[in-house]
Structure 1
Amino acid sequence: MPLWPVYTGTNEPHDGISTLPPPPPWRAFDGGPVLGAPAEGDASATSPDRTHRAETYRATPQTVQLVNAALYLRRPLLVSGPPGTGKSSLAYAVARELCLGPVLRWNITSRSTLHDGLYQYDPLSRLYAARQAAQVSPARAGLPETESGIEDHLRLGPLGTALLPYARPRALLIDEIDKSDLDLPNDLLNVLEEGQYEIPELVRTARHAPGGRAEVMIDGTDERAPVERGRVRCHAFPFVVLTSNGEREFPPAFLRRCVTLRLRQPDDTQLADIVRAHFDGEPDAYAQTLISRFLSRVGGGDLATDQLLNAIYLARSSDLAADSLDELAEQLMPYLSEAPEVDAF
């Protein structure tokens, strides 16, 4: 009998991902050759700030249920909510608990395109390298593109790497999707639905490569992965977290293909638990006061939990008088929608 929940929210690493049942027939993928887990020595796997995020994340029961729904259904998880509610930290927490390896992260801007997430190819650097090689050995000037090292100038992006045929799902964070161009969510539909994509530069040159295979650099590391005939298809669908601050609406076709999780501002019990996790101990009297002040102000506008954590940290780490601490705490917890004050000259 499959284990439910696979992700428990306890932050204790385990191999529960191996107990997932087979995917629904309409979400089954057969990409190959199947790859093993990425190297744990990658820098993004040991980054102290990301490790701390994962260890201190506190999941609500609703979060646990919907993360497991996304894992079982092999669907992306669209996480929305106010700033500072732990949307991006969720990806690191799930990856750590389920031992999914380093989180692949794609930070979205208004200029981001689907191509950016899949792969980057630098034809100018390839042309320069080919000219340099021809000067050293004129006989190489007429070689096919693949033999002149086209794969050395191509690197898979976060999305492209996540869709490689790994035996276990990779974790992919697509952060702040609502900042994207209007077309990006629609452009993502086919790739996330089909779990595959093509690299035209490799498709064109596949006939020149032994077995049609190219060894391509992957995101976040100097390691390489085999790509056959320029086509990538996943084997285990990645655990994809898309975050949104709720600044825009998404097309119904996009929402239909996602499991949707709406995070809310934590209450006093949850805030105390978050403070306990970050500071490794019970909140002291002043921290409780700051929690109460934070909660009383939430109704007046958007506040982020890390604003509260910053105020508590300074209260614990400085010897400021109580009045100075109160004044500093007010300055550290402004409403996020307020425009900053500018001194007149």
Structure 2
Amino acid sequence: MQFTSTDSYVATQDLTVAVNAAIALERPLLVKGEPGTGKTELARQVAAALDLPMIEWHVKSTTRAQQGLYEYDAVSRLRDSQLGDARVHDVANYIRPGKLWEAFVADTRTVLLIDEIDKADIEFPNDLLQELDRMEFHVYETGQTIRARQRPIVIITSNNEKELPDAFLRRCFFHYIRFPDMETLKRIVAVHHPGIKDALLTTALTQFLELRDQPGLKKKPSTSEVLDWLKLLLAEDLTAEDLRQKGTSALPRLHGALLKTEQDVHLFERLAFMARGRG
């Protein structure tokens, strides 16, 4: 079971090695990187490439680890008991399976995505240690033990907003998705915009990388944002020469697709003002 790049996703060699190593070791793959570098999409592409079903668990700040196992709906049971509903005699009617439960009892091997784990409370990763290690958990209300029929391929993403516990990191295979270089960017663009002219692509990516490297930038634009920008350039039928003619502005054409904060827009406006002063 080997993962490689797909028709709609360019995976670098080190990324494919990391995915396949995690599968071979039967360890969760922890993927970090800037927002917009394709971490979530990686899990979907692994599922598509290996022809496996996908289960997605998107973590929020209020998410608890227990929700991934199951939830006991005591409120509904109390209401049904007041209404005389016969369902109250079987507590199993009020157990709501979580995403890990779904992955464990699936008939075939699945890809389980735990997305943006760093959004949750610091104890969230620790609370999943035993379940991800032993691939089983106990349902106290019914007395049953849920064991994985087949070990799922677990992919965990993090935007590095919060440090993860050492005990959790020890159980994962780790990979950091570096921002792609010019040649890798061209391969990614070729997947999404196959008809783009080489002169326009080279000029646009050169301006984009120069913008990303500008000191003082608060939010660097991501891979997904450069794809949006190129889509706009194509829609406006702009040429490489159009991009080079910035006039008195240091901002690229349609910069709203790339710069997402007032601070960054003002930074480039100040640069243009200083350039005019020197001129």
Q: Give me the TM-score of the superposition, normalised by structure 1.
A: 0.67
* Preserved CA contact (<8 Å) 2:80 2:88: no
1:153 aligned residue: 94
* Preserved CA contact (<8 Å) 1:83 1:303: no
SS at match of 1:155: strand
1:121 aligned residue: 72
Alpha carbons of structure 1 residues 181 and 285: separation in structure 2 relative to 1, 3 Å: same
Mapping of 1:55-204 within 5 angstroms?
55-101=7-53, 103-134=54-85, 140=86, 145-146=89-90, 150-164=91-105, 166=106, 168-203=108-143
Q: Name the aligned partner's letter for residue 265 of structure 1.
A: F
Q: Name the aligned partner's letter for residue 177 of structure 1.
A: I
For residues 288-344 of structure 1, what are the alpha-carbon distances to aligned partners after superposition, in whole Å with 9 as ceiling and x for unaligned?
322111112222343211111111111222357947997543221116795898xxx
1:10 to 5, 12, 21: 5
Alpha carbons of structure 1 residues 130 and 339: separation in structure 2 relative to 1, 3 Å: farther
* Preserved CA contact (<8 Å) 1:85 1:265: yes
Q: 2 CA distance for matches of 1:242 and 1:57?
A: 18
Q: Name the aligned partner's letter for residue 89 of structure 1.
A: E
Alpha carbons of structure 1 residues 151 and 287: separation in structure 2 relative to 1, 3 Å: farther
* Structure 1 vs Structure 2 CA RMSD: 2.7
SS at match of 2:35: coil
Alpha carbons of structure 1 residues 328 and 158: separation in structure 2 relative to 1, 3 Å: farther
Shift of 1:260: 0.2
Shift of 1:280: 3.3
Q: 2 CA distance for matches of 1:252 and 1:245?
A: 17
Q: 2 CA distance for matches of 1:188 and 1:339?
A: 39
Q: 1 CA distance for matches of 2:235 and 2:22?
A: 41
1:24 aligned residue: none
1:241 to 138, 142, 155: 155
Q: 2 CA distance for matches of 1:83 and 1:245?
A: 6
SS at match of 2:128: helix
1:303 to 212, 215, 221: 221
SS at match of 2:231: helix
* Preserved CA contact (<8 Å) 1:276 1:283: no
Q: 2 CA distance for matches of 1:258 and 1:125?
A: 38
| Deviation >6 Å, runs of 4+ | 323-326
Shift of 1:255: 1.0
* Preserved CA contact (<8 Å) 2:81 2:88: no
Taking only the aligned residue pairs, the percentage that are identical comes to 35
Alpha carbons of structure 1 residues 234 and 288: separation in structure 2 relative to 1, 3 Å: same
* Preserved CA contact (<8 Å) 2:115 2:158: yes
Gaps of 5+ in 1: 1-5, 12-54, 135-139, 204-229
Q: Give me the TM-score of the superposition, normalised by structure 2.
A: 0.81
